[in-house]
Amino acid sequence: MSKVIHEVIAERQRQIEKGFTPEWDEEAKTEEDWCNDIEAYIAWARQMYRMRSPKKYRHRMKQVAALAIAACESYDRIHGEDQDD
């Protein structure tokens, strides 16, 4: 596995430790909420890129990836894991 995969997993773990647990995900988030959050983090990444801050850009993109994982996991818990189309 690549280094970045491990970093994304660590970022997701950091999010969980901050209280964004799977239980919280189901109580607080809809599919639209997930999309809005991911779009906001992408916008921040884009801003970091435009500001020529490559490390901050990369950090935001890891957060985007971790949020996308959380969104997929939440979807699977709610709708079942075999819904991939």
- DSSP, collapsed to helix, strand or coil, labels residue 19 as coil
- Position 65 scores a pLDDT of 97
For 77, how many CA atoms within 13 A lie in the half-sphere containing its CB? 16
> What pTM was estimated for this model as a whole?
0.87
Rg (CA), the chain: 14
List pLDDT tens digits, range 58-75: 999 999 999 999 999 999
Instruction: Say how far apart CA 85 and CA 49 lie, in whole Å.
Output: 32
pLDDT class of 25 with cuts at 50, 70, 90: confident
